[in-house]
């Protein structure tokens, strides 16, 4: 009786471990980008272009616009513009690009988190072209470092 109970426990432990590994695999980071503006008192625009998003066939472009001006329609807010695209020729076979979510975190000069936003992801199917674009407004002007993490994988 004790022997069979031990086997059931061991099988349950292996099954639970397999589920945890599977969950960790599905939470892989495709890409993480970090923008830093420091303590610059003038307008800052930083653009990153990635020709191999997630190590695959998509391209990404991200722009962080920090505008400390005290007047105007966008006074005191920073903006983030994100674009991911993939063009697949008709005769080419590629894996699907699965982005489960996008995590955006902003930190002030002391390293304290002052902005946090999670966005739903996007999918470009097997051997399919795709386009994703999003603009985030209202990022506080106290943000001196912005981290953008795309969670997902190619399958």
pLDDT in tens, 72-101: 655 667 899 999 999 999 999 999 999 999
pLDDT for the residue numbered 82: 97
With CA atoms as reference, report the closest residue to 96 among 47, 151, 154.
Answer: 154
* Least confident segment among 23-32, 35-44, 114-123, 126-135: 35-44
Residue 20 in this model has a pLDDT that exceeds 90: no
The per-residue pLDDT for 42 is 65
63 pairs with which residues across the strands?
47, 81
CATH code of 28-154, in short, is 2.60.40
At residue 15, does pLDDT exceed 60?
Answer: no
Q: What is the pLDDT of residues 94-132, one digit of tens each?
A: 999 999 999 999 999 999 999 999 999 999 999 999 999
pLDDT digits (tens, 9 = 90+) for 55-64: 999 999 999 9
- Tally DSSP H helices, then E strands, for the chain: 1, 8
pLDDT at 24: 46
pLDDT class of 27 with cuts at 50, 70, 90: confident
Q: What does the pLDDT read at residue 71?
A: 62
Distances in whole angstroms, Cα of residue 7 to Cα of each of 4, 10, 13, 21, 134: 5, 5, 10, 21, 51
Task: Supply the pTM of this predicted model.
Answer: 0.77
- Tally of CB atoms within 10 A around 106: 24
The domain locations on the chain are 28-154
Between 66 and 20, residue with greater pLDDT: 66
């Amino acid at each position: 009786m004790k022997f069979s109970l031990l086997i059931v426990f061991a099988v349950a432990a292996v099954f639970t471990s397999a589920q945890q590994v599977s969950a960790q695999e599905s939470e892989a980071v495709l890409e993480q980008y970090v923008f830093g503006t420091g303590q610059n008192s003038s307008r800052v625009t930083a653009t990153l272009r990635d020709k191999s998003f997630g190590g695959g066939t998509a391209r990404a472009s991200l722009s962080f616009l920090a505008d400390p001006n005290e007047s105007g329609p966008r006074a005191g807010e920073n903006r983030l513009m994100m674009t991911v695209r993939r063009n697949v020729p008709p005769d080419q076979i590629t894996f699907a690009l699965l982005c489960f979510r996008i995590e955006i975190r902003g930190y002030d000069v002391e390293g304290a988190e002052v902005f946090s936003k999670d966005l739903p992801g996007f999918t470009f199917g097997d051997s399919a072209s795709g386009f994703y674009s999003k603009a985030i407004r209202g990022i506080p002007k106290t943000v001196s470092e912005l981290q953008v993490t795309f969670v997902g994988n190619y399958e």
